[in-house]
Amino acid sequence: MIVNHLNFQDSDKDKLEEACGIFGIYAPEEEVAKLTYFGLYALQHRGQESAGIATFDSTQVHFYKDMGLVSQVFNESILNDLPGSIAVGHTRYSTTGSSHKVNAQPSVVETRLGSLAVSHNGNLVNTMHLRDELLKKNCNLVTTTDSEMIAFALAEEINAGADLLQGSIRAFHRLLGAFSLVIGTPVGLMGVRDPNGIRPLVIGTLGINPVRYVLASETCGLDIIGAKYLRDVKPGELVWITEEGLAFFQWSEKPQRKLCIFEMIYFARPDSLMHNENLYSYRLRLGQRLAEEFPANADIVLGVPDSGIPAAIGFSQASGIAYAEGLIKNRYVGRTFIQPTPAMRESGIRMKFNPLKDVLCGKRVVIVDDSIVRGTTSRKLVKALRDVGAVKVHMRVSSPPVTYPCFYGIDIGSQAQLIATAKSVEEIAVQIGVDSLAYLSWDAMLEETRKDSTNFCSACFTGNYLTPVPETAEYSKLMLEQVTTT
């Protein structure tokens, strides 16, 4: 059966969502599976398709994974069956590999030094090459994910005689692209970032005597279990957490800081810290700059819930235009695998957002969102606002136009699907039906990070990729192969 999850005609923005959540903990005196459950619970926004946890006790690995939200996959009794002192967890939304239980992570492999459990966030760009290499060596790949290939590459190096750390470092050198990894082993926990540090990964501490260590995609995954943020895992670094504490190895010869700017703008939770920056504050400043660069004549400012709200508040603060809640989001929607009826589909976005007539009727509205990708969400929202009587609708976007696909783990579709690739801002305004449209400037987006602009990957805005990227044809072929399941 071919499951073509890359077919986005269905125009539902949830289909685009990607960027997995990863978590790991070393804490013999704690219920590690339970803490991992809560860590994943806080990272749920990074992937809602499947969830999994693997734990290690002195003798063996235990794991459980399934399709669904963290709270749907696990219950008390499943967690009680996951004993141990080390745990790794994962929440997934697929960029590579089909939507199928077998592709849920962590990926568990056997090696001569015991089992490994690998949780991966990101996307490799040399998967075809890596897969050929692994298949030639008779690796029995059972899933369609690049994450499993990473697990097999690790196993291959270890089985060839290397120890856990040497073997892992050798395997990391074979990977190209974006990878933040949390790897459980029988004796310790590893945290790894690719040489560019594209996807985030932070270290936290838990307890005082002894101090134990936690790894999470974002600091909100630490906060929920009462762990304290220590620092980021650095680009090209391996952290090794054992009974002795924390050890660091810079495994990449050419590390550079290139965090994905889209994490800052949209993906990560606003209460997380990235580059030592609270993302709510960053997004608020983006909205303030947007109001300075592109003011609008309006009565109220709305944000597209949830990710557009901090920028909308910033826009309101800088412009003096009142902030209002005009769109109510159903926060319990989550992911549904039940397709709406055709009539429901017609009403489109209202599955998720409902406009408040009392707030909007007769008003000139500025609607602020963090990004426009294909333009589907904004077109439906604008129509919904007009349907309840908004007299003017101006749209302001707190990032520049997205014009290039991401090969590093954010699923924003192919270049042909990106509305800003072939259309000018004026043409986009017509297509989404607004009275005016403006995007935040590139300079403002970077200046407000308060970091050197070279610290970020912004390929989706510029096409300046950090690595060679697969040719479109090659990539499509790979994707089609990877979404073939039995």
Q: Catalytic positions, please? A: 20
Rule CB under 6 A: say whether 96 interacts with ligand AMP. Answer: no
Choice between 70 and 412, CB closer to ligand AMP? 412
Report d(CA 116, CA 152) in Å as an integer. Answer: 10
| Stretch near ligand AMP under the rule CB under 6 A, chosen from 10-18, 132-140, 159-167, 217-225 | 10-18
| Backbone phi, psi, residue 408, to 5° | -110, 20
Report d(CA 8, CA 414) in Å as an integer. Answer: 10
- Tell which one of 370, 407, 408, 428 touches ligand AMP (CB under 6 A): 370
How would you classify the pairing of strands 392-397 and 436-439? parallel
| Backbone phi, psi, residue 122, to 5° | 130, -170
Choice between 122 and 375, CB closer to ligand AMP? 375
Among residues 336, 395, 339, the alpha carbon closest in space to that of 371 is found at 395
Please state the closest distance from residue 288 (CB atom) to ligand AMP, in A.
Answer: 19
- Tell which one of 5, 6, 16, 394 touches ligand AMP (CB under 6 A): 16
On the 0-12 / 13-18 / 19+ scale of CB atoms within 10 A, 370 is buried
Report d(CA 19, CA 96) in Å as an integer. Answer: 11
Residue nearest to ligand AMP (CB): 377
On the 0-12 / 13-18 / 19+ scale of CB atoms within 10 A, 431 is middle
CA dihedral 334, 340, 343, 344 (to 10 degrees): -10
Rule CB under 6 A: say whether 375 interacts with ligand AMP. Answer: yes
Cβ contact 97:482 at 8 Å = yes
Choice between 160 and 333, CB closer to ligand AMP? 333
Q: How many C-beta neighbours within 10 Å does residue 60 have?
A: 12
Please state the closest distance from residue 325 (CB atom) to ligand AMP, in A.
Answer: 16
- Tell which one of 147, 377, 398, 467 touches ligand AMP (CB under 6 A): 377
Rule CB under 6 A: say whether 227 interacts with ligand AMP. Answer: no
Please state the closest distance from residue 330 (CB atom) to ligand AMP, in A.
Answer: 15
Please state the closest distance from residue 286 (CB atom) to ligand AMP, in A.
Answer: 13
* Residues of span 255-294 touching ligand AMP by CB under 6 A: 266
| Token pair 């952290």 in the structure block, residue | 239
Cα-based distances in Å from 53 to 75, 122, 371: 12, 18, 33
Please state the closest distance from residue 56 (CB atom) to ligand AMP, in A.
Answer: 33
Choice between 124 and 260, CB closer to ligand AMP? 260
Rule CB under 6 A: say whether 459 interacts with ligand AMP. Answer: no
The encoded tokens of residue 246 equal 């924390």
Rule CB under 6 A: say whether 373 interacts with ligand AMP. Answer: yes
Rule CB under 6 A: say whether 374 interacts with ligand AMP. Answer: yes
| Stretch near ligand AMP under the rule CB under 6 A, chosen from 158-166, 279-287, 321-329, 364-372 | 364-372
Q: Name residue 259's beta-bridge partners.
A: 456
The encoded tokens of residue 483 equal 């979404």
Which residues, 6+ apart, have CB-to-CB distance to 115 below 8 Å? 56, 60, 61, 108, 109, 185, 186
Choice between 131 and 380, CB closer to ligand AMP? 380
- Tell which one of 238, 369, 382, 466 touches ligand AMP (CB under 6 A): 369
Q: How many C-beta neighbours within 10 Å does residue 380 have?
A: 20
From residue 290 to residue 319, the character string flagging contacts with ligand AMP as x (rule: CB under 6 A) and all else as - is: --------------x--x------------
- Tell which one of 98, 105, 145, 371 touches ligand AMP (CB under 6 A): 371
CA angle (22, 26, 27) in 5-degree steps = 130
Instruction: With both helix axes pointing from N to C terminus, report the angle between 146-159 and 164-173 in degrees, rounded to the nearest 10.
Output: 130
Rule CB under 6 A: say whether 228 interacts with ligand AMP. Answer: no
Rule CB under 6 A: say whether 410 interacts with ligand AMP. Answer: yes
Choice between 291 and 349, CB closer to ligand AMP? 349
Rule CB under 6 A: say whether 30 interacts with ligand AMP. Answer: no
Choice between 10 and 110, CB closer to ligand AMP? 10
Rule CB under 6 A: say whether 12 interacts with ligand AMP. Answer: no
| Stretch near ligand AMP under the rule CB under 6 A, chosen from 109-117, 138-146, 244-252, 367-375 | 367-375
What is the binding site for ligand AMP (CB under 6 A)?
A: 13, 16-17, 266, 304, 307, 369-378, 410-412
